[in-house]
Amino acid sequence: MTTNVYTPDELKKVDPVFGQISFDHHEQVVFCHDKDTGLKAIIGIHNTVLGPALGGTRMWNYTSEWEALNDVLRLSRGMTYKSAISGLDLGGGKAVIIGDSKKDKNPELIKAFAKYVDSLSGRYITAEDVGTTTPDMDLIHTITPHVTGISESLGGSGNPSPVTAYGVYMGLKAATKFKYGSDDLNGKRVLVQGIGNVGETLVKHLVNAGALVTITDISKDRVEEVSKKYNTAIYMGEDLYSLDVDIYAPCALGATVNNDSIGKLKAQVIAGAANNQLAEEAVHGKMLQEKGIVYAPDFLINAGGIINVFGEIAKYGSDEAIRRTENIYNTTLDILNLAKEQNITPNQAAMKMAEQRIEKKKQENK
Determine the pLDDT at residue 254.
85
195 is in an annotated binding site: yes
CA distance 90 to 314: 11
Determine the pLDDT at residue 22.
79
196 is in an annotated binding site: yes
End-to-end CA distance of the chain: 46
Q: How far does CA 87 lie from the centroid of its chain?
A: 17
Which residues are tagged catalytic?
94
197 is in an annotated binding site: yes
Cβ proximity of 360 and 201 under 8 Å: no
CB atoms closer than 10 angstroms to residue 49: 18
% of the chain at pLDDT higher than 90:
87
Determine the pLDDT at residue 1.
40
Supply φ then ψ for residue 61, to 5 degrees. Answer: -85, 75
194 is in an annotated binding site: yes
Q: For the segment 68-92, what is each residue's pLDDT rounded down to a tens digit?
A: 999 999 999 999 999 999 999 999 9
72 is in an annotated binding site: no
Determine the pLDDT at residue 52.
98
Say whether domain 161-356 belongs to CATH 1.10.3720.10: no
User: How large is the C-alpha radius of gyration of the chain?
Assistant: 20
Picking from 21, 45, 75, the residue whose alpha carbon sits closest to that of residue 276 is 75
257 is in an annotated binding site: no
Supply φ then ψ for residue 325, to 5 degrees. Answer: -70, -40
CA distance 336 to 26: 28
CATH of domain 8-77+90-153: 3.40.50.10860
Read off the pLDDT of each residue in 123-131 and give the average, rounded to a whole number: 94
Domain ranges of the chain: 8-77+90-153, 161-356
Q: For the segment 211-240, what is each residue's pLDDT rounded down to a tens digit?
A: 999 999 999 999 999 999 999 999 998 899
Instruction: Please report the beta strands in 127-272, taking only residues with DSSP state E, as ranges in sequence order.
Output: 189-193, 212-216, 233-234, 247-250, 269-270
Picking from 279, 338, 332, 354, the residue whose alpha carbon sits closest to that of residue 80 is 354
**What dihedral angle (degrees, nearest 10) is formed by the CA atoms of 121, 153, 251, 352?**
-50
Is residue 5 over pLDDT 60? Answer: no
pLDDT bucket at 131, cuts 50 / 70 / 90: very high
Three-state secondary structure call for residue 213: strand
Read off the pLDDT of each residue in 196-211 and give the average, rounded to a whole number: 97
pLDDT bucket at 117, cuts 50 / 70 / 90: very high
8-77+90-153 and 161-356 agree in CATH topology? yes
Q: Residue 28 has what DSSP assignment?
A: E
This prediction's pTM? 0.88
Beta-bridged to residue 147, according to DSSP, are: 126
Read off the pLDDT of each residue in 243-258 and give the average, rounded to a whole number: 94
